[in-house]
Amino acid sequence: MRRRMLVFVCLAAVWAGMTGCAPVQPWQREYLADETMQFDPDPLKAEWQQHVREVFEGGRGGFNGTGGGCGCR
């Protein structure tokens, strides 16, 4: 438990440092708006890939994306 708390505190400190930098100004967002910068910009594609992934994996969650349905077995 103590180890987990230490990891959490370290991550929070790193995060706070990154946030404090806040370097991106509104007029600098053109690149960030490009679809290649986005995580899973195509809903149907992300849905299908996530569905296939979850059909065959014991793990789940954590990644973005949308769903789908049906079994692939």
Q: In the complex, which residues of this chain contact another protein (CB under 8 A)?
A: 11, 15, 18-19, 21-26, 28-40, 42-73
Q: How near is the Cβ of 2 to another protein at its closest, in Å? A: 19
For another protein, which is the closer residue by CB, 2 or 31? 31
Q: How near is the Cβ of 50 to another protein at its closest, in Å? A: 6
| DSSP state string for 9-34 | HHHHHHHHHHHHH----GGG-TTTTS
Query: Which residue, among 50, 70, 72, 68, has the nearest Cα to 59 in the 3D structure?
Result: 50
For another protein, which is the closer residue by CB, 2 or 57? 57
CB-CB contact of 69 with 50 (8 Å)? no
